[in-house]
Amino acid sequence: MENILDKEIKGIIDAYPEVGKILEEYGIGCAPCSVGSCLMKDIVGIHNLDPQQEATLMYRIEKAVYPGRDIPEPKVDLTKKAAPKKIMYSPPVKKLVDEHVLIKRLLALIPSVVEYIENNVEVDKELVLRCVDFIRNYADKYHHMKEEDILFKYVDENAEIIQVMYKDHDTGRNHIRQVVEGAENGNKAQIKEHLFGYRDLLTQHIKKEDEILYPWIDRQLSDTQVGEMFRRCNEADASVGDELPKKYENFINKLEEKFLKEVVK
Amino acid sequence: MSGCPGSRTMDFSEKDVQNESETGKRQSQLRQWPIQLHLVSPQAPYFQEKDVLLVADCVPFALADFHKDYLKGKSIAIACPKLDSDQEVYIEKVKSLIDDSKINTLTVIIMQVPCCFGLVQVAKGGAEKATRKIPIKQVVVGIEGGVLSEEWI
């Protein structure tokens, strides 16, 4: 089993698809992950399953990988703390979760924005660039930079799960560069492809952060670190001023109003 | 079983104690004096930028590993929200801890009995009056010594 624990999850699922299905049953969505470079042992640790669940999961995976082996029934380490039923975030992490809400509101509008662009003769460049402005300055500069400059510094930045997050941020930036190029050239297909690409990427990315990464980081933080991170995030927010989040919330409100009206028309 | 849960008589002397080692001496983790909230100065050096515990009087008697698990590395003030007088002073002191001593975090540790939640209200009252914002945690201890909940509020 040890050699399986040290392997990348994508390789394991490619070789033994049943493992992906077993992980799904435990709410561990590695099968559709585009990167899949997390090690098996990290995945099990990160999800903070209770001891009985973890032992049963590992037993089933081992049976799937080595069907011919005589594998002993799972031993349960009752000294391990069970996972809390409800996710409880520390205040600085809760702030980051709350910021996801505004980003998710834009992601929900992307199909309407794309449909609007496709149905008009000329590309509404201003609309596209205003969405890009939100993504670059709120989602990326205001939110992702706090993750990269503050949050991720409290854990091992070389951990695969953190590397996956960095890669997602970079992939998102590439999608947005393509969207801008599409807007400059009036290329509707290019805008559509990369706005949808961004939406799919960020939807999964935010889900991973809210449900897996942030709780995992929170479990490792001491009270002192929580206080320090809270202060550093507040300082980062103060450096851009109160107006920035208000401005982008206002933008999303107006965008929702515009497309709600479009639907009603 | 009636009356105030905070002063109801209960006896759990028959409770089983499992595999506890009583060998060796433990060192106190207390690094300051005084500790009672009326007696401490919120601007004392031992509060400056520290993680501070605001603890109900009964907690350290119930929580066996209080020193090791909670007090270590932190500063402390204790109070009883049921019996202490002049609790508006407590609210001002919490405010001063946050604004003047710039404490890093405040952890309020209370017993499970309803009257003890008054100490959380004291902490919240001080935090609302303060200009700075800090993370505040609430820990609830059962009368038989277990930690019933621990959450940021």
Q: Which residues have CB under 8 Å from A200's CB, separation 6+?
A: none
In total, the C-beta contacts within 8 angstroms joining chain A to chain B are 35
Query: What's the whole-number average pLDDT of chain B?
Result: 93
pLDDT value of residue B17: 66
Whether A223 and chain B come into contact, CB under 8 Å, resolves to yes
pTM score: 0.80
**Which residues of chain B are at the A interface, by a Cβ-Cβ cutoff of 8 Å?**
51, 73-74, 104-105, 107, 133-135, 137, 151-152
pLDDT value of residue A50: 75
pLDDT value of residue B120: 97
Q: Are the beta carbons of B105 and A90 separated by less than 8 Å?
A: no
pLDDT digits (tens, 9 = 90+) for B76-119: 999 999 999 999 999 999 999 999 999 999 999 999 999 999 99
Q: Are the beta carbons of B105 and A224 separated by less than 8 Å?
A: yes
Q: Are the beta carbons of B135 and A227 separated by less than 8 Å?
A: yes
Contact call for residues A124 and A117 (beta carbons, < 8 A): yes
**Model ipTM?**
0.87
pLDDT value of residue B28: 94
Q: In what order do the strands lie in the sheet with B105-111?
A: B75-79, B51-56, B105-111, B136-141, B147-152
Angle between helices A17-25 and A51-65 in degrees, nearest 10: 160
Token couple for A129: 């660039």
Q: Are the beta carbons of B135 and A226 separated by less than 8 Å?
A: yes
pLDDT value of residue A84: 53
Residue of A nearest to B150 (CA): A88
Whether A90 and chain B come into contact, CB under 8 Å, resolves to yes
Answer whether residue B37 shows pLDDT above 80.
Answer: yes
Answer whether residue B59 shows pLDDT above 80.
Answer: yes
* Local structure of A8: helix, strand or coil: strand
Answer whether residue B128 shows pLDDT above 90.
Answer: yes
Q: Residue-wise pLDDT tens for chain A (265 aa)?
A: 557 777 888 888 888 888 888 888 887 877 666 666 677 777 777 777 777 788 888 888 888 888 888 887 776 665 555 555 578 999 999 999 999 999 999 999 999 999 999 999 899 999 999 999 999 999 999 999 999 999 999 999 888 889 999 999 999 999 999 999 999 999 999 999 999 999 999 999 999 999 989 999 999 999 999 999 999 999 999 999 999 999 999 999 999 999 887 665 5
Q: How far, CA to CA in Å, does A68 sit from each of A71, A126, A246?
A: 9, 62, 61
Q: Are the beta carbons of B151 and A223 separated by less than 8 Å?
A: no
* Choice between B15 and B43, residue whose per-residue pLDDT is larger: B43
Among B51, B104, B152, the residue with its CB nearest the CB of A88 is B152
Domains observed in chain A: 2-65 (1.10.3910), 91-264 (1.20.120.520)
Domains observed in chain B: 45-152 (3.40.1360)
